[in-house]
């Protein structure tokens, strides 16, 4: 099941991530952004929180629909939706590294560009380490947004358990999800296990997927409540969502940010006027290319910065990189992402007899 307004919300969230990385190319955030409502436009980490909640909602709807199949068909479809495009993006980033051949750290740029991107030469062992999707930060430098894809894929593959729990009693599932995430956060922060595959790093975000599933389970009631509210009340809810959303998440995935993100997701499918606006052609296009844009914008941005940093001002570099990234995302979607989606659907059809994982 696809909900157009939520696809568009994912596209807008991806654009916010791009804007946040453009901002990180500069040493400081301008005061007119940092201390104004415009800071919502660079809340990249908060946008990732929206991604996780949206995934929980959409996966729950898929599993509880009439088309819900076996676990292996679900897992194959999800794996092929995420992993092959990710692999291609890593290889593109490695190829760009060799084409650009960065000489070293760039001058007069933000720390993010030098410390978290392209600081390892992408020899085969480094590329393979990236493709293994570990939790080692150094092995995420070719495309540092991949940290969220590691979490996304892992939690997606265990999501049927979450869906069954929410279907049985969403209140108990919400409490258990929060408890598990809190425990994972405490263990990771207190003991900092230096593992290649760290379940606590992943587990601390589990509650966001549960939140998404709970929103899906109660979607009809949420829509009824929204329809009964006055325009002023809905405007107040949007403000109540955007204010905590604009705050950078800290600890435990950012509880205030999670609340704001959950409200944004709920309002995006429950507020009729906003839902209609989100199903316009441009937001829907952004939603269509959102995963491709998320995957390839960092390599393009870093490559442009290394090539042009001493030639033109950074403001022009990031603007040019953003335009290239949007165009390249459409190409990437058509040539990589869409074929991967279609292949996933084909494999899902072939794997095991269809049987509902989650009862209706």
Q: What is the pLDDT of residues 120-141, one digit of tens each?
A: 999 999 999 999 999 998 899 9
- What pLDDT is attached to residue 252? 47
pLDDT band at 353 (very low <50, low <70, confident <90, very high): low
What tokens does 97 get? 């590294």
Residue 352: the pLDDT is 61
Is residue 131 within 8 Å of residue 87, measured between CB atoms? Answer: yes
Cβ atoms of residues 274 and 5 within 8 Å = yes
Q: How confident is the model at residue 181 (pLDDT cuts 50, 70, 90)?
A: very high
* pTM for the full predicted model: 0.94
Confidence tier at 326 by pLDDT (50, 70, 90):
very high
Question: To the nearest whole percent, how much of the chain has pLDDT over 90?
Answer: 70
Residue 252 in tokens: 């435990």
Query: Mean of the pLDDT values across residues 264-290?
Result: 93
The pLDDT assigned to 111 comes to 87
* pLDDT (tens digit per residue) in 13-39: 999 999 999 999 998 888 888 888 888
Q: What is the mean pLDDT of the chain?
A: 91
pLDDT tens digits along 62-118: 888 766 668 888 999 999 999 999 999 999 999 999 999 998 788 888 889 888 899
Between CA 141 and CA 170 the distance in angstroms is: 38
pLDDT tens for 202-259 read: 999 999 999 999 999 999 999 999 989 888 999 999 999 999 888 766 544 578 899 9
pLDDT value of residue 124: 95
Task: Judge whether residue 330 has pLDDT over 60.
Answer: yes
pLDDT tens digits for range 293-320: 999 999 999 999 999 988 999 999 999 9
Q: 159 pLDDT exceeds 90? A: yes
Per-residue model confidence (pLDDT) at position 355: 56
CA 98-16-192 angle, 5° bins: 70
Note the pLDDT of residue 168. 95
| Per-residue tokens: 256 | 């205030």
Q: For 271-290, what is the mean pLDDT?
A: 93
């Amino acid at each position: 099941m696809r909900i157009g307004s939520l696809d568009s919300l994912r596209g807008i969230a991806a654009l916010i991530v791009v804007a946040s990385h453009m901002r990180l190319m500069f040493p400081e955030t301008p005061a007119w952004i940092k201390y104004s409502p415009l800071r919502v436009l660079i809340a990249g980490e908060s946008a990732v929180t929206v991604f996780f909640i949206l995934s929980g909602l959409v996966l729950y709807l898929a599993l509880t629909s009439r088309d819900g199949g076996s676990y292996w068909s679900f897992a194959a479809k999800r794996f092929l939706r995420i992993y092959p495009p990710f692999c291609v993006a890593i290889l593109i980033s490695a190829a760009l590294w060799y084409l650009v051949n960065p000489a070293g750290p760039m001058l007069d740029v933000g720390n993010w560009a030098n410390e978290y991107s392209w600081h390892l030469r992408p020899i085969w062992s480094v590329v393979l380490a990236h493709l293994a999707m570990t939790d080692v930060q150094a092995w995420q430098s070719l495309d540092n947004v991949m940290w969220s894809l590691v979490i996304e894929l892992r939690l997606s593959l265990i999501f049927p358990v979450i869906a069954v729990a929410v279907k049985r009693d969403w209140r108990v599932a919400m409490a258990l999800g929060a408890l598990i995430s809190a425990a994972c956060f405490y263990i990771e922060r207190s003991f900092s296990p230096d593992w290649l595959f760290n379940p606590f790093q992943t587990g601390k975000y589990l509650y966001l997927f549960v939140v998404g599933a709970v929103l899906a389970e109660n979607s009809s009631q949420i829509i009824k409540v929204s329809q009964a509210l006055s325009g002023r009340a809905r405007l107040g809810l949007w403000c109540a969502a955007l204010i905590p959303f604009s705050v950078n998440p800290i600890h435990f995935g950012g509880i205030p940010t999670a609340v704001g993100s959950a409200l944004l997701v709920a309002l995006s499918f429950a507020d009729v006027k906003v839902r209609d606006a989100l199903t316009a052609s441009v937001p829907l296009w952004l939603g269509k290319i959102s995963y491709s844009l998320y995957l390839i914008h960092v390599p393009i941005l870093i490559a442009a910065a290394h090539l042009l940093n001493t030639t033109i001002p950074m403001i022009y570099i990031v603007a040019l990189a953003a335009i290239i990234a949007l165009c390249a995302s459409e190409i990437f979607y058509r040539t990589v992402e869409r074929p991967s989606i279609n292949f996933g659907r084909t494999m899902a059809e072939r794997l095991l007899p269809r049987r509902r994982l989650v009862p209706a």
